[in-house]
């Protein structure tokens, strides 16, 4: 485990001193979208783990505009268990927005984000807390395998992170996801990031802090199916790249230079050839090929500009990242009205 912690901690701070074995408050934050089949099993699995760690914890669920009975299931549990809270969105805003809301409302000393589908085993939280006590600010769980993903998804995902890390200033440790423990200070830092495009994996990396990793086996979904189709993931990837790199914008200046240089060489050759051998009429094929090729290149560069400009537009509108229709915070917290 120490080997992997080196790669994740690259460029980040070393851990602070031991946090001691005293009492602490734990926040478990859970984005939920159409998870009615998993919620009860999730609570049954996570509550004993939390209880074994501390007497003071909250489980903060964010219902991301589910179309099924997810919210009702959580409300039923929250009625009996004051440690469970529920933030309901007015519609589906996406997992990244759900995580953002949870970070805005949670108040633990240590905050663990975890999916509701039990693909991430709650027992791992024990090891995370142990690492946090050792002094690490962030403990990210890394997937030991990608067996539960389709071959295509696993392959594309790996490619994406490979290229992302080559062009981004803030590399993302491979195979880490949204299953992680963060110290309160890290959550405070995340709250300061104002952008509307919430590529959380990138934001996690951007804020820094001392980071270590724990490997875990990613299980099968407890119930239901993944909400992420290839097209969603593609747009997610574009969000990530445009938020963390301007390389796709800059590359076109270089392409322009190279093309202009080659055009100059070719033009000189044509002039020379005309001077030596006279006017040579045929040239239809080469003319068409060059026109189409340059047209294609120009359209691609325009498209890249469009990707950035569209996102700039989203940012300048400064719409809220999410809207809530109701907020029930765990008992003992009277700050519901003061939320963001
Ligand atoms: N999720 C969400 N909003 C969405 C899609 C997903 O809050 O629009 C939640 C979902 O309920 C789950 C987590 O995000 O807790 C991960 O989703 P999923 O299991 O579908 O993704 P995968 O594990 O396939 O990446
Ligand atoms: Mg899942």
Q: How confident is the prediction along the chain (340 residues), in pLDDT tens digits per residue?
A: 333 443 444 455 677 788 878 889 999 999 999 999 999 999 999 999 999 999 889 999 999 999 999 999 999 999 888 899 999 999 999 999 999 999 999 999 999 999 999 888 899 999 999 999 999 999 999 887 766 677 787 888 888 888 888 888 888 887 788 899 999 999 999 999 988 888 888 899 889 899 898 988 888 887 778 877 788 888 888 888 888 888 888 888 888 889 888 888 888 888 888 888 887 777 777 788 788 888 888 888 888 899 899 888 988 998 999 999 988 888 755 554 444 5
The predicted pLDDT at position 61 comes to: 96
- What's the confidence (pLDDT) of residue 260? 85
Residue closest to 112 by CA, chosen among 194, 30, 167:
30
Identify which ligand lies nearest to the alpha carbon of 32. 1
Task: Give the closest ligand to the alpha carbon of residue 38.
Answer: 1
Ligand 1: centre distance to CA 188 (Å): 24
Of 144, 141, 158, 115, nearest in space to 212 by CA: 141
Using a 6 Å CB cutoff, which residues line ligand 1? 31-33, 35, 64, 92, 94-95, 98, 115-117, 119, 226-228
pTM, two decimal places: 0.79
Q: How far is the CA of 222 from the centre of ligand 2 (A)?
A: 9
pLDDT of residue 236: 85
3-state secondary structure 162-224: HHHHHHCCCCCCCCEEEEEEEEHHHHHHHHCCCCCCCCHHHHHHHHCCCEEEEEECCCCCCCC
Q: CA-to-CA distance for 61 and 47, rounded, in angstroms?
A: 13
122 C-alpha to ligand 2 centroid (Å): 13
């Amino acid at each position: 485990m120490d080997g992997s912690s080196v790669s994740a901690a690259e460029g980040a701070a070393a851990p602070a001193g031991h946090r001691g074995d005293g009492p602490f408050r734990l926040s478990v934050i859970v984005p939920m979208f159409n998870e009615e089949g998993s919620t009860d099993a999730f609570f049954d699995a996570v509550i004993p783990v939390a209880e074994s760690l501390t007497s003071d914890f909250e489980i903060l669920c964010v219902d991301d505009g589910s179309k099924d009975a997810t919210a009702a299931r959580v409300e039923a549990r929250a009625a009996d268990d004051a440690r469970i809270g529920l933030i309901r969105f007015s519609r589906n805003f996406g997992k990244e927005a759900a995580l953002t809301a949870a970070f805005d409302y949670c108040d633990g000393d240590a905050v663990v984000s975890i999916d509701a589908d039990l693909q991430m085993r709650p027992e791992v939280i024990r090891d995370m807390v142990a690492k946090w006590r050792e002094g690490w600010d962030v403990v990210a769980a890394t997937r030991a395998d990608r067996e539960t993903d389709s071959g295509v998804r696993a392959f594309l995902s790996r490619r994406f992170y490979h290229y992302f890390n080559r062009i981004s200033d803030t590399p993302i440790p491979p195979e880490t996801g949204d299953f992680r423990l963060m110290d309160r200070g890290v959550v405070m830092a995340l709250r300061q990031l104002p952008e509307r495009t919430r590529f959380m994996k990138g934001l996690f990396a951007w804020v820094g802090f001392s980071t270590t990793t724990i490997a875990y086996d990613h299980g099968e979904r407890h119930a239901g199916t993944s909400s992420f189709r290839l097209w969603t993931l593609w747009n997610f990837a574009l969000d990530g790249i445009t938020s963390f790199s301007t390389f796709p914008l800059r590359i076109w200046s270089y392409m322009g230079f190279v093309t202009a240089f080659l055009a100059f060489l070719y033009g000189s050759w044509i002039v020379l050839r005309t001077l030596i051998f006279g006017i040579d009429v045929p040239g239809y094929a080469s003319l068409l090929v060059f026109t189409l090729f340059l047209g294609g290149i120009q359209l691609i560069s325009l498209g890249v500009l469009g990707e950035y400009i569209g996102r700039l537009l989203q940012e300048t509108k400064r719409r809220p990242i999410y809207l809530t229709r109701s907020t029930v915070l765990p008992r003992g917290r009277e700050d519901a009205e003061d939320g963001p």
